[in-house]
């Protein structure tokens, strides 16, 4: 009996050691496999230390954006496309963490966890998987040009399918001829950041869409209410001001003229808890994932805001920040009658359609979304000027976000086209761009007109 239990004990110990060893191996494998596989000494992939046979990244029209040729990386021949899409292809040294070549490196090189290095048939050398993106390279280049060297980002996507057709971030540079990025001018500060995915800015008045959504659902008879604006309003010794006295306004008029005192009033009436709840419902305080690329979340934190903080938060100031991609998804959901379709960027991996396309989530009720859409359409007609957006059926909201004394405000413009042939939503952010209905709206107009051609 004693002998048996000693043997059992030994056996159990051995089994435990085996399992532990297996777990340790698995952990190390998952932790280090990319480093082992992608090490330049691996002759499956490297010839004389240079990558060979990498897959190619194409845009939606079949333009090659990045490919391997004779052991070297080859970019698109057009410098405007190379520059506009540097954050998508990545630079030569792999500094852009959210680039397709970084995030999909194993696909492009042709290995996975299960099969290791693979090939499609024994005749071929190990070959990477080609990736076809949803992006239109020409449209991205046009968007970058429209930013005219100003810092910021542009995003356009199809709010029914989730396809991201335009994305660009500035500053950028031509990865074939990289400039001196460390220069004292600071022109290239944060150049590796894709500002659509990885930045969060004070939203200013575009945030009034969130406050309006909450008001529509939480304040009874809000559509029959009238707000009185005499140009300023005191909240606990803090002055909330409008550029001028707006007089008597409906909710729709308050949104169109971006009346700060009306929205400060609405925020106070809603209370911190409700405004917080709606902000989180539409994506604040959580990161999005676009085909495995994580975004930086925008923030709304009202727990200790106090009354003045809450009033300012309702008009998109206080400590609020918004991530441009998330905001684009929000206006896309309004265009899609409350149903948010997750943005995606990879259309095909090799011969297969990408798995992640089009995940849907109800963000707002259909009624709320339709009421918001109507107001955003009225914004264009009443304030932004239908002639600037001819034929687009534009529904939009501008934002001019104050970022501190002596600094030029950030310029935002976000919205969607109410068109069944071009169900597109967009966001434009220009750092220090001034008025949203001025500079960001002009960029949006040029990019959207080109998108529907």
Task: Based on the shown chain and the rule CB under 5 A, indicate whether residue 139 belongs to the binding site for Zn ion.
Answer: no
Compute the chain's Rg from CA coordinates: 26
Q: Where are the beta strands (DSSP E) in 150-224?
A: 152-158, 164-170
| Least CB distance to Zn ion at residue 439 (A) | 22
Q: CA angle, corner 129, sides to 43 and 157, nearest 5?
A: 140
Which 228-287 positions form the footprint of Zn ion (CB under 5 A)?
229, 242, 246, 259, 261
Q: What is the rounded distance in angstroms from the CA atom of residue 209 to the CA atom of residue 198?
A: 22
- Cβ proximity to Zn ion: between 20 and 245 the closer is 245
| Least CB distance to Zn ion at residue 318 (A) | 18
- Cβ proximity to Zn ion: between 63 and 257 the closer is 257
Which 176-235 positions form the footprint of Zn ion (CB under 5 A)?
229
Q: Are 199 and 296 in contact (CB under 8 A)?
A: yes
Number of residues that bind Zn ion (CB under 5 A): 5
What is each CA distance from 95 to 87, 90, 346, in whole angstroms? 9, 7, 20
- Cβ proximity to Zn ion: between 87 and 257 the closer is 257
Q: Where are the beta strands (DSSP E) in 363-409?
A: 394-401
Non-local (6+) Cβ contacts of 23 within 8 A are: none
- Cβ proximity to Zn ion: between 52 and 211 the closer is 211
| Least CB distance to Zn ion at residue 226 (A) | 13
Non-local (6+) Cβ contacts of 107 within 8 A are: 55, 128, 129, 131, 349, 350
Q: What is the rounded distance in angstroms from the CA atom of residue 80 to the CA atom of residue 141?
A: 6
Name the residue among 158, 177, 74, 165 with its Cα closest to residue 332: 158
| Least CB distance to Zn ion at residue 262 (A) | 6
Collapsing DSSP to helix, strand or coil, 299 comes out as: coil
- Cβ proximity to Zn ion: between 260 and 336 the closer is 260
| Least CB distance to Zn ion at residue 270 (A) | 18
| Least CB distance to Zn ion at residue 213 (A) | 20
- Cβ proximity to Zn ion: between 241 and 286 the closer is 241
| Least CB distance to Zn ion at residue 215 (A) | 16
Side by side, which strands form the sheet with 57-58? 72-75, 64-69, 57-58, 131-133, 346-349, 352-353
| Least CB distance to Zn ion at residue 57 (A) | 48
- Cβ proximity to Zn ion: between 98 and 261 the closer is 261
- Cβ proximity to Zn ion: between 315 and 376 the closer is 315
Interface residue list for Zn ion (CB under 5 A): 229, 242, 246, 259, 261
């Amino acid at each position: 009996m004693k002998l048996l239990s000693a043997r059992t004990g030994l056996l159990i110990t051995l089994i435990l050691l085996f399992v532990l060893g297996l777990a340790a191996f698995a952990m190390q494998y998952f932790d280090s496999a990319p480093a082992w596989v992608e090490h330049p000494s691996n002759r499956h992939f490297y010839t004389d230390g240079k990558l060979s046979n990498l897959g190619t990244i194409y845009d939606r029209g079949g333009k090659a954006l990045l490919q391997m040729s004779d052991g070297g990386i080859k970019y698109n021949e057009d410098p405007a496309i190379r520059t506009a899409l540097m954050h998508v292809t990545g630079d030569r040294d792999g500094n852009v963490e959210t680039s397709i070549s970084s995030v999909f490196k194993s696909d492009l090189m042709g290995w996975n966890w299960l099969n290791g290095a693979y090939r499609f048939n024994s005749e071929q050398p190990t070959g990477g998987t080609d990736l076809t993106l949803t992006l239109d390279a020409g449209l991205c280049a046009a968007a970058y040009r429209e930013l005219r060297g100003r810092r910021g980002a542009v995003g356009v996507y199809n709010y029914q399918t989730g396809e991201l057709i335009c994305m660009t971030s500035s500053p950028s540079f031509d990865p074939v001829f990289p400039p001196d990025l460390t220069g004292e001018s600071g022109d290239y500060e944060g150049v590796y950041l894709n500002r659509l995915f990885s930045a969060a800015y004070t939203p200013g008045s575009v945030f009034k869409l969130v406050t309006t959504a909450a008001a529509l659902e939480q304040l009874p008879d809000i559509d029959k209410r009238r707000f009185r604006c005499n140009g300023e309003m005191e909240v606990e010794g803090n002055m909330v001001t409008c550029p001028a006295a707006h007089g008597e306004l409906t909710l729709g008029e308050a949104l169109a003229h971006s009346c700060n005192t009306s929205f400060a009033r609405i925020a106070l009436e809603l209370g911190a808890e409700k405004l917080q709840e709606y902000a989180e419902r539409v994506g604040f305080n959580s990161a999005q994932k676009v085909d495995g690329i994580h975004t930086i979340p925008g923030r709304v934190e009202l727990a200790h805001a106090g009354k003045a903080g809450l009033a300012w938060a309702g008009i998109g100031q206080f400590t609020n920040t918004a991530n441009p991609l998330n905001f684009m998804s929000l206006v896309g959901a309004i265009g899609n009658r409350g149903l948010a379709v997750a943005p995606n960027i990879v259309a095909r991996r090799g011969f297969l359609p990408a798995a992640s396309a089009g995940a849907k989530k109800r963000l707002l009720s259909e009624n709320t979304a339709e009421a918001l859409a109507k107001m955003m359409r009225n914004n264009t007609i009443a304030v932004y000027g239908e002639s600037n957006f001819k034929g687009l059926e534009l529904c939009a909201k501008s934002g001019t976000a104050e970022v501190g004394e002596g600094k030029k405000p950030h310029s935002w413009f976000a919205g969607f086209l109410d068109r069944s042939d071009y169900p597109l939503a967009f966001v434009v952010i220009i750092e220090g761009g001034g008025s949203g209905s001025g500079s960001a709206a002009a960029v949006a107009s040029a990019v959207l007109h080109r998108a529907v051609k």
